[in-house]
Structure 1
Amino acid sequence: MAVVLTIIAVLLLLWWLLRFVPAGVEAHMPMPYSTALDRHLWVPAVIGAVWSAALGCWWGAALYALLLVLVIAGESPYYRHLFGRTANTSQATANTATDGTGHSGASADGVIRAMTLNCRYGRADAENIVRLVRERHIDVLALEELTDELVERLSHAGLNTLLPYCQQGAQHAGDNGGFNAIWSRAEPVGRIATFLNIHAADVPAITIDADAGDTPGAPSNPGRQVTFAAAHTKSPMRGCREWSYGVQALDAIATSPEPVVVLGDLNACLDHRCLRDVLAAGVHDASLDVAHGPTLTFPSWTPWPRIELDHALANSGVVFHSAQAITVRDTDHRALLVTLSVR
């Protein structure tokens, strides 16, 4: 048994180390799925260490302990505040405080509230989505896996009253579970149906004044502008290589001269090399910036084991203040809500 436990420990270590293979190598089944579970390898690490120690197999116990250390190290970027690099929690708290009417009143200080949600083939509860937009005073909403029928239900529920401006991606037969769209409270100064070249659903985008007034249609103060895009990279099961290329294409926002925010279901987490390469190129992630743990969004129906597939990414022109996941009825992803401001 001691030999078996040691062999299992070696195999688990090799599993964890697969996260360092090049992104192109990673794009082969079942690696995207096995790598996504890296953060949960602490479970067999703890069980194996205790079992090995009970049997007096100290080599095996040491290997399992090493695996546990590696798993913790892989998660450590989400907890920088424990090491003295504390996120601006007071600012985040101020940004999410309400005035008792469901409005935070933070638009005056340039804070923008954004939300993204994968709608699961258009099945998400429209009333639930609109209620979140209203209660959380969302300024920008990005939705993925949309259908015309869900867009109609959202309109009927009052979304167009709250967020009157919308840009949809063009619909194609090979869309990634549905098309993407993005809504805005402020009138866009620019819009486009395809912002990034991702071989999945089109990536629609809108550009707004960062200092736009809080009331729809109100005049804005010209100056700082920010572009928001709704993205949904292909699921690995629908095309593993296209998934990897789609995630890697997100690094294009790092070199944009204007502030850019990409919201959406990216089908990748920090354990995936392709996403880490994007972050290394100069893109930053809301959860990593806030540094209070990953914002776990999938699957919605169980608290464990969840992973972080939905993200808010931005270039250096944007600062994230908070990130939160909220369950929405009838979809397998949780909504990701972030607050941000433009530098």
Structure 2
Amino acid sequence: MTITTPAPVTKPVRARRAAWTVLLWLLVLPGTAWAVARLGGWERGLFIQFFAFTPYVAAWSAVPVIAALATRRWLVGAVAAVTLALFAVTVLPRAMADDDRGPQTGVKLHVMTSNMLFGNADAAQIVQLVRDNDVAVLALQEFSPAAKDRLAQAGLGSLLPYSSLGPEYGASGSGLYSRFPITAPGIHDNGGGFRQAYGTIKPPGAGPIVVESAHPLAPAARSALAGWRSDLEAEPKPDRAGPPRILLGDFNSTLDHQPLRSLIAKGYRDAADATGKGLIGTWGPYDGDPIPPVTIDHVLVDERLGVGATAVHGVRDSDHRSIVAEVILPAA
């Protein structure tokens, strides 16, 4: 009987194996740190901007798992698998409808939010979306005097004759249109300089509802980070002693940003998240910029109200997509 012994592993082979192991760790550990920071709400500095792309990092985190397990790097594979699991816990629920979407019987109200990109968005298309989707409340951001005129020319007044408007040139203007009379209308300025139009409506068969077009400051520069955080903290919260609220608009934040999650936890539910549409991007390359889509526009609905179907629609000449959500109001 002939006994053979394995050939000794040469130094170049050992070096290649070590290099591959190091490479795998380099692929895994940044994702692990990202997942832990996301779970703890520890985003800081300009890293806040990158957190908007967490779903893409979550998808990428499957690659190191496959690579590590395929090459039998068990420790690296275990860490990579835990990282993937952390991302799955925080990201995947947005693609699945919640069991609890609030009351599902009552008065149905379709609301819509749209950022008009310095007032340049296609007004006729916005009016068509209002008509096609039976929208009763329209919230607009980056709403300019010229946009107000174009919307009127496109026939918005015949669909939504009541309004609370604060148009301004640039990105700060805000508008709120309604099918129903608006009481206690108003405009207030955020600390970051953006305006927010608001008012109270009372659809037939339902009680009063406070609606507001939200637009906190964007975390576009280090100097804006404190203002972004304080604007989100200052957004109105539901008050059990008062009428329910709907807060909808461009929040310049995704569900991977702790300040937005904290706001929602005060008594809101995110309509897209609740209906399994929470991973659909609403801002990104729609004006030609090479930026992967992220979800920074939201319809936040008071937990006392229900959420039905939600849909996202592109709008010409805007870098944002519109959100249309069905909100279910308890019968009066």
CA shift for structure 1 position 267: 1.0
Query: TM-score w.r.t. structure 1 length?
Result: 0.80
Match of 2:13 in 1: none
CA deviation profile, 1:32-89 (whole Å, cap 9, x unmatched) = 222111111233322222222343322222222222111111024325558xx37589
Cα contact 2:109–2:328 (8 A) shared by 1:
yes
Match of 1:329 in 2: 316
Match of 2:213 in 1: 230
1:122 aligns with 2:119: yes
Match of 2:275 in 1: 290
After superposition, residues 115-194 of structure 1 pair within 5 angstroms as 115-169=112-166, 171=168, 177-194=171-188
SS of equivalent to 1:112: strand
Structure 1 unmatched ranges of 5 or more: 93-108, 212-220
Equivalent residue in structure 2 for 1:210, among 200, 203, 222: 203
SS of equivalent to 1:68: helix
Quick one: which amino acid aligns to residue 214 of structure 2?
A
Match of 2:6 in 1: none
Quick one: which amino acid aligns to residue 270 of structure 1?
L
Distance 1:337 1:300, change over 3 A: farther
Cα contact 1:324–1:338 (8 A) shared by 2:
yes
Cα contact 2:283–2:320 (8 A) shared by 1:
yes
CA shift for structure 1 position 310: 0.7
SS of equivalent to 2:238: helix
CA shift for structure 1 position 296: 2.8
Cα contact 1:256–1:315 (8 A) shared by 2:
no
Distance 2:193 2:305 in 1: 26
Cα contact 1:115–1:142 (8 A) shared by 2:
yes
SS of equivalent to 2:62: helix
CA shift for structure 1 position 134: 1.3
Q: Which moved more, 1:260-269 or 1:42-51?
A: 42-51
Query: TM-score w.r.t. structure 2 length?
Result: 0.83
CA shift for structure 1 position 181: 0.5
SS of equivalent to 1:323: strand
SS of equivalent to 1:41: helix
Distance 2:167 2:209 in 1: 22
1:39 aligns with 2:55: yes
SS of equivalent to 1:2: helix
Equivalent residue in structure 1 for 2:298, among 302, 311, 324: 311
| Identity rate, percent | 25
Distance 1:253 1:200 in 2: 23
1:281 aligns with 2:274: no
Match of 1:240 in 2: 225
Match of 2:23 in 1: 4
Q: Which has the larger radius of gyration?
A: 2
Distance 2:243 2:190 in 1: 18
CA deviation profile, 1:128-175 (whole Å, cap 9, x unmatched) = 11111111121110110111111111111111221111111364x8x7
Distance 1:289 1:56, change over 3 A: closer
Corresponding pairs, count: 307
Structure 2 unmatched ranges of 5 or more: 1-19
Equivalent residue in structure 2 for 1:78, among 76, 94, 97: 94
CA shift for structure 1 position 27: 5.0
Distance 2:52 2:156 in 1: 34
CA RMSD, Structure 1 to Structure 2 (Å): 2.8
After superposition, residues 56-135 of structure 1 pair within 5 angstroms as 56-79=72-95, 81=97, 85=99, 110-135=107-132
Equivalent residue in structure 2 for 1:199, among 192, 200, 205: 192
Distance 1:70 1:135 in 2: 40
Distance 1:318 1:15, change over 3 A: same
CA shift for structure 1 position 322: 1.9
